[in-house]
Structure 1
Amino acid sequence: MITKDNYANDIKPYQPKPKLLKNCLKAFVVGGIICAIGQGLTIFYIEVFGFTEKTAGNPVVTTLIFIAALLTGFGVYDKIGQFAGAGSAVPVTGFANSITSAALEHKSEGIVLGVATNMFKLAGSVIVFGTVSAYIVGVIRYLVEQFL
């Protein structure tokens, strides 16, 4: 009789071995390039538009999100994601790619029931997680400042 354990042991010799070092290197390089582009945009916004280091962050993130959404629409970001894995998924551009992909995938169902609904299914969980995490960190910081 075939069980889960037997099956897992039987297929193990046929599974490809992951190339961990190569995958980590690709993720590191692509993630680094995305961060370097972000740093270049920061310098651009500071030099050209007179932002400070603190205030340049918002337009930089917005620009990165816009570029990622545009590249997703043209089908380029998916190829970057296949090559880099987590190196393209972890930065804010990966979130923009996920949202845009969900919107494009369901555009045939209409603007409200297709694009908006499916786009915000993904965004909703991220927004809730971010809000709850920020609240918890804020409470911890407040308590640490009060008692230390």
Structure 2
Amino acid sequence: MKITPNEYNEMTKKASPGTKSYKTIPMAFLIGGLICMAGEGLLNLYQYMGMSKDAAGAVTSITLIFVAALLTGLDLYNTIAKYAGAGTLVPITGFSNGVVSPALEFKSEGYVLGLGAKLFVIAGPVIVYGISASIIYGIILYLFKLY
């Protein structure tokens, strides 16, 4: 049986569920905003407790990463993401979820070959390209003395 590209496109459209943008976009905005609002609340709380702005920012990031990793481990973050969509991917919590999720999937293979090997499956390329880009940017700044 030979299928033309147009026939394949028609079959794909029939099999694919339609997106409900009127529902998913506001939910992503709302949940993502709530996550960011929680981060701002933590930042203000830590500053109120006497931390400097830089220290409070670092502790806020660590807290958000920990809470997202904990919620991922309890299988609650993915439930939230089902309704929030991209609203949970954009903040730092999405990065934490991206690191923890693959590790949890392979934990049955052990701590080294499972958890340790799969910990950075998703986040690893982001880290590698981020470091590479910063090195190239630093070299360009050094060569042209743009600072």
1:34 CA drift (Å)? 0.4
AA partner of residue 66 (structure 2): F
Identity %: 44
2:68–2:77 contact (8 Å) kept in structure 1:
yes
AA partner of residue 22 (structure 1): K
Q: Secondary structure at the match of 2:96?
A: helix
The residue that corresponds to 1:93 in the other structure is 93
Q: Secondary structure at the match of 2:13?
A: helix
1:70 matches 2:70:
yes
* Distance (Å, rounded) in 1 between the aligned partners of 2:85 and 2:55: 30
* Distance (Å, rounded) in 1 between the aligned partners of 2:117 and 2:14: 43
The residue that corresponds to 2:131 in the other structure is 131
The residue that corresponds to 1:30 in the other structure is 31
1:106 CA drift (Å)? 0.7
CA separation of 1:129/1:21 partners in 2, compared to 1, >3 Å: closer, same or farther? farther
1:3 matches 2:7:
no
TM-score by length of 1: 0.86
RMSD: 2.0
1:21 matches 2:12:
no
Kindly tell me the number of residue pairs found equivalent between the two proteins. 145
Could you list the runs of 5+ residues in structure 2 that have no partner in the other structure? none
Moved more, 55-64 or 136-145: 136-145
CA separation of 1:25/1:140 partners in 2, compared to 1, >3 Å: closer, same or farther? farther
Q: Secondary structure at the match of 2:52?
A: coil
1:4 CA drift (Å)? 3.4
* Distance (Å, rounded) in 2 between the aligned partners of 1:121 and 1:107: 13
CA separation of 1:14/1:111 partners in 2, compared to 1, >3 Å: closer, same or farther? closer
Could you list the runs of 5+ residues in structure 1 that have no partner in the other structure? none
1:121 CA drift (Å)? 2.6
2:89–2:95 contact (8 Å) kept in structure 1:
yes
1:37 CA drift (Å)? 0.5
TM-score by length of 2: 0.86
